[in-house]
Amino acid sequence: MEYRIEHDSMGEMKVPADRYWGAQTQRSYQNFKIGTEKMPAEIIRAFAILKKSAAVANNRLGRLDDKRKDIICQVCDEILAGKLDGNFPLALWQTGSGTQSNMNMNEVIANRSNEIAGEKIFHPNDTVNMSQSSNDTFPTALHIASTLIIDDYLIPQIDHTIAALKKLEKENEGIIKSGRTHLQDAVPIAFSQEISGWRGMLEKSKQQLQAALPFTEELALGGTAVGTGLNAPKSFGEEAAKVVASLTGKPFVSEDNKFHALTSKDAVVFAHGALKALAANCMKIANDVRWLACGPRCGLGEITIPANEPGSSIMPGKVNPTQCEAMTMVAVQVMGNDAAIGFAASQGNFELNVFMPVIAHNFMQSARLLADALRSFTDNCLIGIKANKEKMDYNVHNSLMLVTALNPYIGYENAAKASNKAFRENISLKEACVSLGFLTPEQFDEYVRPEKMV
């Protein structure tokens, strides 16, 4: 491999000749050989948006000339287009402020900009990092990335699943089945009503995620090192936020209290709480589906799900609810990520939180996994659910909890006697009620009508 010599304030470093990063990136690359996790791609893209916005803001405020501004914007666009992939190699497990990834971005932009300009007129710190600090850029990148992955990636997938559930509801109108509480038989419910509960969960999750966005749309940029804004023009944060909003189409604003913006991560804790709530709902829906499909002969068997692949290496013909299992594993991961984010956010000391890379990693993973799992679950399982009408009808008409409809006519205690007698003697509710003298056969048929109980 060929190398070139780069330098920083600590001296010279050998850097791969075919890469644009500089000495500080190389030091981090060599000093933090920890794990396989790299800085999330969403954070890299958010940094490119941020650096472009900072260049435009500095230009508008008279600090950066048109030529340098235009070239920085060009390089940022190259990063966003994926043309400079491979230039951001740093481990997630680095400085907790994300300084090294901020400098990685600064060095790549500066070196590529000098290449375009044909002269060395860009400096990573003085030009690309102008009016900024790692301490306000990383929180800003975190908020940009969090907002975009929720609004542009996750919520559209939630909408896709909601649409599939609405279709499933319509297809199953009029089908009555036994409800279940505590995993025990309960009063009847329409299958479409049960599906509507799943839909309602996702609709509420969407609303909760949207409620979190105004907080992640507040940006720390302009606070520089400790929130005072040292070395930045007074209006830099507001001007840069306007550019971020223009570039992304999202209502980003500059946070009023930069001291809060640098040290507190409560916005991402709150937003990830909505991700955890979505994960809990996804866990519930996936579990309902695999319970209702369990069998096919020795379980509930009230629905069938698509047979996507063989389920066993030893039992021929076995098919498993694999999409449900993938969804529940994702839910578990998201819940674990939430614990990590909560712990990390609680560790802000004085003017800075230094757990930001791990917060970023867990947040992006949660949103990405939930979106991908919802798409997979919807397209490979949910849309192929079919009701086993015969099994549902059998179960609902043999449920002892139909006796609940008799409470107004024979009273709770007599209804309980009838239910207990039917269970002990393995006879029908109708036979029990008639033999106890509570009702005539005709009265029972009039009062106990499952389709009227939903």
What tens digit of pLDDT does each residue of 141-158 get?
Answer: 999 999 999 999 999 999
Q: What is the pLDDT of residue 355?
A: 98
Q: How confident is the model at residue 126 (pLDDT cuts 50, 70, 90)?
A: very high
Q: What is the mean pLDDT of the chain?
A: 97
Quote the CA–CA distance of 208 and 206 in Å, as a whole number. 5
pLDDT cut 90: percent of the chain above it: 99
- CA torsion angle for 280, 282, 285, 287 (degrees, to 10)? -70
For position 365, what pLDDT does the model report?
A: 98
Looking at residue 179, its pLDDT comes to 98
Q: Are 226 and 351 in contact (CB under 8 A)?
A: yes
Distance of alpha carbon 424 from alpha carbon 420, whole angstroms? 6
Sequence-separated (6 or more) residues with CB below 8 Å from residue 116? 71, 74, 75
Going by the DSSP 8-state scheme, the letter that residue 227 receives in this structure is S
What pLDDT is stored for residue 407 in this prediction?
A: 97
pLDDT of residue 449: 96
pLDDT value of residue 35: 98
Work out the average pLDDT over 19-42.
Answer: 98
pLDDT in tens, 41-75: 999 999 999 999 999 999 999 999 999 999 999 99
| Strand 11-16 versus strand 3-8 pairing type | antiparallel
pLDDT of residue 416: 97
Instruction: Look at residue 381 in the predicted model and tell me its pLDDT.
Output: 98
Mean pLDDT, residues 352-379:
98
pLDDT of residue 141: 98
Q: Two tokens at 42?
A: 């969403």
- Region 332-353: mean pLDDT is 98
State which H helix or E strand residue 76 sits in: helix 66-80
Residues catalogued as catalytic: 182, 312
Could you tell me whether strands 218-219 and 184-190 are parallel, antiparallel, or unpaired per DSSP bridges? Answer: unpaired
> Any idea of the CA torsion for 60, 63, 69, 75, to the nearest 10 degrees?
-120
Burial label, 404 (beta-carbon count in 10 A; 0-12, 13-18, 19+) = middle
Confidence (pTM) = 0.96
Q: Using 50, 70 and 90 to split pLDDT, how confident is the model at 444?
A: very high
**How far apart (Å, rounded) are the C-alpha atoms in residues 101 and 179?**
53
pLDDT at residue number 222: 98
By mean pLDDT, which of 70-79, 311-320, 352-361 is the weakest? 311-320
Report pLDDT for 320. 96
pLDDT digits (tens, 9 = 90+) for 237-252: 999 999 999 999 999 9
Measured on CA atoms in the order 386, 387, 390, 395, is the torsion positive or negative?
Answer: positive
Helix (H, G, I), strand (E, B) or coil at 184: strand
End-to-end CA distance of the chain: give it in Å, rounded. Answer: 73
Identify the DSSP state of 9. Answer: T
∠ CA 358-361-367, rounded to 5°: 135
